[in-house]
Structure 1
């Protein structure tokens, strides 16, 4: 039976690396996969899943108009990076893709934003996913990082602003809950 999987973590835990590895594993066995990333994330170019370790791959993109049920032909697996940017309806479509059409769907993303608030896509993935796994990461203090903070160009924490502001290490840090509230 196919499942909807949600693999989440704070920033820099290797979500994109894990997604690329899963795609490689399927393809090495001669199976076709479909990969998606959020069109809003253009840090490395449109439609590129890029690991901070270096591997990169051109993939399809999703935006608010993407219908995963209509846009996904029969494949062995669907992989979604930056899944926090999925809409509620899209998470429901991916759940249906797994449950009704029998296609495993593995989503990778952040659980919460820099204010500690859930992203809508992540909230629905936590509600509907058949299998949920936290990918581990470490805070600068040595504890397990579970939160993200946004920083300015000088490295000073920003506590207010729009939920979505695309960036990498220059814009965000992963922290433990104690450091998040400090």
Structure 2
């Protein structure tokens, strides 16, 4: 039976690397997969999944208008990076796709934003996913990182602003809960 999977972590835990590895494993066995990332994530160019380790790949993009039930033919697996940017209805479509069409769907994304607030897509993934896995990362203090901190150009923490601000290591860092609240 196919499932909806949510693999989440704080920033920089290797979510994109893991997704690219899963795609490689399917394709190495001659199976077709479809990969998506959020159109608003333009850090490495629109429609590119790029690992900090170097591997990258052109993929399809999803927007608020993407209808996964209408757009997905029969494939061995559907992989979605930056899944925190999915809308709640899109998460429900992905759950339905797995349950009624037998297509495994693996979503990779953040659970919370820089204020510790859930992204709507992530909240629905936590509610509907058949399988939830945390990918581990480390805080600068050595404890397990579970939170994200937004920083300015000088590395100072930003504690207000829009929920979505696209950026990488220059804009965000991961933290454990203690360090998240200490700053």
TM-score w.r.t. length of structure 2: 0.99
Specify the alignment match of 2:89 in structure 1.
89
Q: CA deviation at 1:141?
A: 0.3
Q: CA deviation at 1:86?
A: 0.1
Q: CA deviation at 1:54?
A: 0.3
Specify the alignment match of 2:36 in structure 1.
36
Specify the alignment match of 1:69 in structure 2.
69
Question: C-alpha separation between the residues in 1 aligned to 2:74 and 2:102?
Answer: 9
Q: CA deviation at 1:108?
A: 0.1
Q: CA deviation at 1:159?
A: 0.3
Q: CA deviation at 1:10?
A: 0.1
Specify the alignment match of 1:47 in structure 2.
47
Q: CA deviation at 1:131?
A: 0.1
Determine helix, strand or coil for the equivalent of 2:153. Answer: coil
Structure 1 residue 136 corresponds to structure 2 residue 136: yes
Specify the alignment match of 2:18 in structure 1.
18
Question: C-alpha separation between the residues in 2 aligned to 1:41 and 1:99?
Answer: 28
Runs of 4+ in structure 1 displaced over 3 angstroms? none
Question: C-alpha separation between the residues in 1 aligned to 2:63 and 2:113?
Answer: 19
Q: CA deviation at 1:19?
A: 0.1
Taking only aligned residues, the RMSD between alpha carbons, in angstroms, comes to 0.2
Specify the alignment match of 1:149 in structure 2.
149
Deviations 1:20-57 (A, max 9, x none): 00000000000000000000000000100000000000
Q: CA deviation at 1:16?
A: 0.1
Gaps of 5+ in 1: none
Q: CA deviation at 1:124?
A: 0.1
Question: C-alpha separation between the residues in 1 aligned to 2:116 and 2:96?
Answer: 29
Specify the alignment match of 1:160 in structure 2.
160
Gaps of 5+ in 2: none
